Amino acid sequence: MHNFTRRHFLKAFGVTSAAALTGIGCAPRAARNGAKAHVVVVGGGSGGATAARYLKQFSPDMMVTLIEPNATYVTCYGSNWVIGGFESMDAITHGYQNLRDRDGIDVIEDKVVGVDTDSRTVRLESGGSVQYDKLVMSPGIDFKYDDMPGIDEADAERIPHAWKAGSQTELLRSQLLEMPNGGVFVMVAPPNPFRCPPGPYERVSLIAHYFKEHKPRSKIIVLDAKDNFSKQGLFEEGWAQHYGDMIEWRGASDGGLVEEIDVGGMTARSDSGFERVRADVMNFIPAQRAGQIVHDVGLTNDQGWVPVNQRTFKSEMDDNIYVLGDASVAGAMPKSGHSANNQGKIVAAAIVRELMDQEPIDPSSANTCYSLITPEHGISVAAVYKYQDGAQAGVEGSGGVSPSGETSSFRRREAEYTRAWYAGITRDIWG
Amino acid sequence: MKQSRLFVAGLVASLAMAGTASKAIADNDEITRGQLMAASCKACHNAAGAEKGVPDLARISPEVIQSQMRAFRDGDRDATIMDRHAKGYTDEEIEAMSVYFSRF
Ligand SMILES: Cc1cc2nc3c(=O)[nH]c(=O)nc-3n(C[C@H](O)[C@H](O)[C@H](O)COP(=O)(O)OP(=O)(O)OC[C@H]3O[C@@H](n4cnc5c(N)ncnc54)[C@H](O)[C@@H]3O)c2cc1C
């Protein structure tokens, strides 16, 4: 392993702009001077890209490097629209050009394979390394395939999770296209906590939308590891209204808790083997944990998530590392793109204030999770969070779900706002 | 209907105020709580959201933002979701965040 310095590294990659070079050689002093500090952000998803952009916005002279292995990012939000057949992959794919060109962020296409916290250095898959004053990590989730007998990661080529968007999204979509009319789609839904609590139920709604138009004799069965789920009343109201009895949801204590998946037989077994559900297309969404890299760095707790100071999202394990997004334990904030976006701003403000020797502030932010039941029927859950008594907590009397029994014009307006939310937040994250 | 009346009033006032908003906070040199709260709203209320029907708050004056947030919070303006959000903020917080939008 070469011990590349930042200067070598930049040279190796042909980065020689004056702005990029100012920070080199004064790393020790940097912690006293926000403008000259070098902040490295790991992961260019919802949380990481937001943090990088807002660091630059709050402190334009700061050096910000973003490390992300993929040239483009496909949002999970909107991926259920693709699966439902009314949106394109292109429309949910975002690049890093604006971060590079307009925001002045040094975006490096590489994967972080390790962090030496003593020398404050991240190691890259390509062999280089990058030094940091502060490190921000938003690596998202990884899956716990070990928790489900009978299936492992390689089987995702046959039974997709489609819980990281991209080729998995396209695979599930193509399986649904190939499925005969009258077929059975089975979703095995994950236990808490997991990325996007309403996501599985939006997905089956929009698969029902596709079936209703193209394969009306088909059936949808959800086998759930939980006994209730996000916005349940509103989803069930919408399912009854639009899809009759096409969607059958089985809670954990109602035979829904899957104990084994027989990949060859495309069968999920529950209830000590008494229940066997055969699928034509199966979507297994495994139990989840924080992305692998934060485990490797030693930042996780026994449950596989990263405990942080919820005021700043600084890791409880390391004074120079901040962890946000799905990977973090964030109190009442759900594992959502909107939460990750808010946390990116909170982290950016916390780092800038810390580097300027200012006290942290008690952040407050707003989250909305929209879901579509049909392309014209939107529902939402909203919340305002404040840091109080050591945790991110919902403000009493605020937030909550859309009213039940509303008119179709109300639902249509929320469907329009769902798309406005998407347009707005993706601009906020990727410019 | 109450919603449209307030909205028109809002537009008129916002046009009148557009020039003065940023001056009041130009000498600010630290990231404040109000600024961070305003940054949160920006996830939806930006130019891209505006193309799909959500107002871009950068184009609306602090006074109008304040009056509309209070109207949402107190049930004086119809909403699908802003009523649920507005209830999460005190008058002081609404005021603190309102001055930042035109600055982003
Ligand atoms: C079907 C579905 C629907 C959803 N709908 C919504 C919705 O409507 N609204 C909403 O708010 N949220 C929604 N979400 C949730 C949202 O996608 C996530 O909560 C959000 O993306 C989390 O952001 P993050 O930054 O933590 O992780 P991610 O956005 O996953 O970003 C992680 C990034 O880190 C990179 N990375 C990982 N490891 C490394 C490494 N070692 N080195 C460098 N880079 C690395 C990855 O490549 C990735 O780009 C949905 C999710 C799903 C699955």
Q: Is residue B10 pLDDT above 90, yes or no?
A: no
Q: Are A294 and A300 in contact (CB under 8 A)?
A: yes
* Biggest CA-to-CA distance, chain A: 68
Written as one letter, the residue type at A291 is: G
Task: Check if the beta carbon of residue A349 is closer than 8 Å to that of residue A39.
Answer: no
Domains in chain A: ranges and CATH:
2-140+291-361 (3.50.50.60), 145-287 (3.50.50.60)
CA atoms within 13 A on the CB side of A245: 1
- Residue in A412, A425, A426, A430 to test binding to B, most B beta-carbons within 10 Å: A425
Helix or strand holding residue A416 (H, E): helix A408-430
* Residue-level pLDDT at A3: 40
> Strands A121-124, A129-131: parallel, antiparallel or unpaired by DSSP?
antiparallel
Residues counted in chain A: 431
Ligand 1 neighbour A336 (Cβ under 6 A): yes
Categorize the per-residue pLDDT at A34 as very low, low, confident or very high, splitting at 50, 70 and 90: low
Distance, C-alpha A355 to centroid of its chain: 28
pTM of the model: 0.91
Among the partner-chain residues B48, B80, B104, the one whose CB lies closest to the CB of A413 is B80
A68 CA from centroid of ligand 1 (Å): 12
Residue in A7, A9, A33, A4 with CA at minimum distance from that of residue A357: A33
Q: How far B66 CA lies from chain A's nearest CA (Å)?
A: 17
The token pair that represents A415 in the structure block: 């469907």
Tell me: the pLDDT tens digits for A208-264? Answer: 999 999 999 999 999 999 999 999 999 999 999 999 999 999 999 999 999 999 999
Residue A236 CB neighbour total at 10 angstroms = 15
Confidence of residue A11 (pLDDT cuts 50, 70, 90): very low
Residue with tokens 């990659």: A13
pLDDT value, residue B23: 31
Is the pLDDT reported for residue A5 higher than 60? no
User: Residue A196 in contact with residue A113, Cβ under 8 Å?
Assistant: no
What is d(CA A374, CA A412) in angstroms, rounded to the nearest whole number?
9
Give me the torsion for CA of A109, A304, A141, A288, rounded to 10°. 150
Ligand 1 atom with minimal separation from the A338 CA: 11
Chain A residues contacting B, CB < 8 Å? 54, 57-58, 338, 341-342, 345-346, 349, 352-353, 356, 358, 361-366, 368, 380, 382-384, 386, 395, 397-400, 402, 410, 413-414, 416-417, 419-421, 423-428
CB B77 within 8 A of CB B3: yes
Dihedral class, residue A160 (left if φ above 0, else alpha if ψ from -120 to 50, else beta): beta
Q: Is A8 helix (H, G, I), strand (E, B) or coil?
A: helix
Cα of A67 vs centre of ligand 1, distance in Å, is 15
E strand or H helix that includes residue B92: helix B91-98
Task: Indicate if the pLDDT at residue A17 is higher than 60.
Answer: no
Phi/psi for A399 (5° steps) reads 70, -160
Amino acid in position A170: E
How many angstroms separate the Cα of A317 from the Cα of each of A42, A128, A199, A297, A360? 17, 25, 31, 10, 18
Q: Residue A201: is its pLDDT beyond 70?
A: yes
Report how far residue B103's alpha carbon sits from residue B62's, in angstroms, rounded to the nearest whole number: 11
Q: Number of C-alpha atoms within 13 angstroms, CB side, residue A367?
A: 29
pLDDT of residue A342: 98
How many residues appear in chain B?
A: 104
At B28 the pLDDT is 53
Chain B residues 28-67 within an 8 A CB cutoff of chain A: 30-33, 35-37, 39-49, 51-54
Measured in angstroms, how far is the CA atom of residue A25 from the centroid of ligand 1? 34
Q: 10 Å Cβ neighbour count for A353? A: 21
Q: Which residues pair with A109 in a beta bridge?
A: A68
Domains along chain B with CATH numbers: 2-103 (1.10.760.10)
pLDDT per position as a tens digit, A129-167: 999 999 999 999 999 999 999 999 999 999 999 999 999
Residue A425 Cβ < 6 Å to ligand 1: no
For residues A295-312, average pLDDT = 98
Structure tokens at A48: 């990481």
Count of Cβ atoms closer than 10 Å to residue B48 Cβ:
18
Rounded to whole angstroms, the Cα distance separating A83 from B54 reads: 26
Cα A198 to chain centroid distance, Å, stands at 13
| CA distances from residue A262 to A100, A153, A206, B11 in whole angstroms, order as listed | 46, 14, 26, 61
CB A293 within 8 A of CB A42: yes
pLDDT at position B19, please?
36
Residue in A196, A159, A210, A211 with CA at minimum distance from that of residue A77: A196
Contact A54 B39 (CB under 8 A): yes
Instruction: Say if the Cβ atoms of A382 and B84 lie within 8 Å.
Output: yes
Half-sphere exposure of A126 (CA within 13 A, CB side): 14
Q: Is the CB of A340 under 6 A from ligand 1?
A: yes
Mutate to test the interface with A, among B54, B84, B85 (most CBs of A within 10 A): B84
The predicted pLDDT at position B104 comes to 80
Contact predicate B6/B68, CB 8 Å: yes
Option in B40, B46, B84 nearest A399 (CB)? B84
Q: Is A34 in the pocket of ligand 1 (CB under 6 A)?
A: no
When pLDDT is cut at 50, 70 and 90, the band that residue A419 belongs to is: very high
